[in-house]
Amino acid sequence: MAGRRASPPEDCDGLWAYLSELDRHDLRRWEVIDRLAEAVEPFVAAGDGRALDEDALREALDGFEAYRRFQPEHFDRKALNAELRGLATGGGGAA
């Protein structure tokens, strides 16, 4: 089995909701980059680390991690084939 993109998650509430989520994450990518830049800008300007807003940086990194986990372009052929083999042999999926 082969593929090009990840399938929508089972809990996505349908095609239109998934497409809306794709749009939201596309916009969010740039928001996350902006937040990371804003969080480290005082640190870079000061050059000594005392101006680093750790809460802002942590929030920006959490946003980046949420974006990173959402990978609609990712397709794991090996995982899918392992799951299909498990289903074919009656052993259940790998997930």
Residue with tokens 């929508």: 8
Residue pLDDT, tens place only, 45-60: 777 656 677 787 788 7
Cβ–Cβ < 8 Å for 20, 34: no
- Residue type at 55 in one-letter notation: D
Q: Where are the beta strands (DSSP E) in the chain?
A: none
User: In 3-state terms, what secondary structure has residue 41?
Assistant: helix
pTM comes to 0.42
pLDDT, average across residues 17-21 = 83
